[in-house]
Amino acid sequence: MAETTRPVTHGRVLKIAVPIVISNATVPILGAVDTGVVGQLGLAAPIGAVGLGAIVLTGVYWVFGFLRMGTTGLTSQAVGAGQAGEVAALLTRALMIGVAGGLAVIALQLPLFWAAFRLAPASDEVEGMARGYMAIRVWSAPAMIALFGVTGWLIAQERTRAVLAIQVLMNGVNVGLDLWFVLGLGWGVEGVARATVIAEWGGLALGLWLCRAAFGVPAWRDWPRVFDRARLRNMASVNGDILLRSLMLQAIFISFLFLGAGFGDVTLAANQVLLQFLNITAYTLDGFAFAAEAIVGQAYGARALTVLRRGALLSSLWGFVICLGIATGYALFGGALIDLMTTAPEVREEARRFLPYTVAAPLLGLVPFMLDGVFIGATRTRDMRNMMAVSLVIYIATVAALMTPLGNHGLWLALLISFVARGITLGLRYPALERAMVSPHS
């Protein structure tokens, strides 16, 4: 039986999803170690500099997140269609886009950093240290952005253990070098930056080694294929749609924070604490959304409708189990989690007032989150972009209608309604996705 038409089982879904969940769980650890190491210097400024610098660069790299999703969708379809040459060529294209994007970030670092510090001003001391940190870390931008493509390429082939291996290596190298450079050699903030640069280039090196089979076939450097205009145009269209969709989604969350700030510092802090609950949900669900991307994409490429439906169903079923568990955990232990995140009594009290919204969020967000995975696998990115635009308009209208009479409750309701709107609108477009398997122009 061909790889693309083998049965979709619970074991197959979990084999894809669990390594991603574990990998995501390691992400906050690295930030904690960075903070803890510079915290040993006994000064506040280095902690703020590392935190601020990391946030700025993460925000810049986030823009290129389309490369991960687009590469997963296109590659999984090529795998499903049995196009080994195109699978290899897609890796080359992704690496070229990643390196080019990284070089652009390096070239534009001065205006990018200037704009970042205008949006998030800091003291002269912190800003100076943060600029020094970013001036070093920016040199790994090509590696980090290229890794988006490598990660997407591996996920498309259900090789999520390889993705976990890359994350573990990067974190391990980073932590070890942090301790050596900062505490051993006394390099301070610059030591943290150098450790991260080495770890990120090391991660790309391991990623390329894990992709070595693709470099064993001539297609990866079949330049007429790599630079085929129709394929490049399709890749640009897919990536562009995902970028616009992601920007609109980010606009909802950024506006949520900004609008919440209008209710005072305490409410702003409470909303920030509760948004971490949503981040935990998203990190956990990622694994099952990625499973949907890979299985649906392969089925789409193979024109195997039954496999596509079962892949979407089983991955969503596990997503529901996870969301139900998370919602239950928040209902039972949400107060304790809030107390872990803040010691301010007034923030604790305010966060508890709005905790029910974060209990509902995993269940209301399940459908749009999993449908995102399905639509990415099928590269129906125009639908994702358009339905996100509709959801954004609904969010804006709901904020306008509810925020004045209901305050922060209205803001939370608007956020949850945007989740429901995205799920409904994507669900309405799902039949067109199935029709497109038979007629690509539908």
- Per residue in 13-22, pLDDT (tens digit) is 999 999 999 9
Distance of CA 279 to the CA centre of its chain: 10
What was the pLDDT predicted at 157?
96
Q: What is the pLDDT of residue 120?
A: 66
Q: 99 near 142, Cβ under 8 Å?
A: yes
Block residue for tokens 């477009």: 429
| Lowest mean pLDDT segment, chosen from 66-70, 267-271, 421-425 | 267-271
What pLDDT was estimated at residue 4? 46
Q: What is the pLDDT of residues 122-138, one digit of tens each?
A: 677 878 888 888 999 99
| Candidate from 35-44, 252-261, 271-280 with smallest mean pLDDT | 35-44
d(CA 2, CA 84): 13
CB 425 within 8 A of CB 391: yes
- Answer yes or no: is pLDDT of 35 > 80: no
DSSP labels for 34-49? HHHHHHTT--HHHHHH
CA distance 254 to 363: 22
pLDDT band at 85 (very low <50, low <70, confident <90, very high): very high
Helix or strand run (H / E) with residue 151: helix 141-156
The answer to whether residue 30 scores a pLDDT higher than 80 is no
> Residue ranges of the alpha helices (H) in 262-407?
265-302, 305-341, 345-377, 381-406
For the segment 97-121, the average pLDDT, to the nearest whole number, is 89
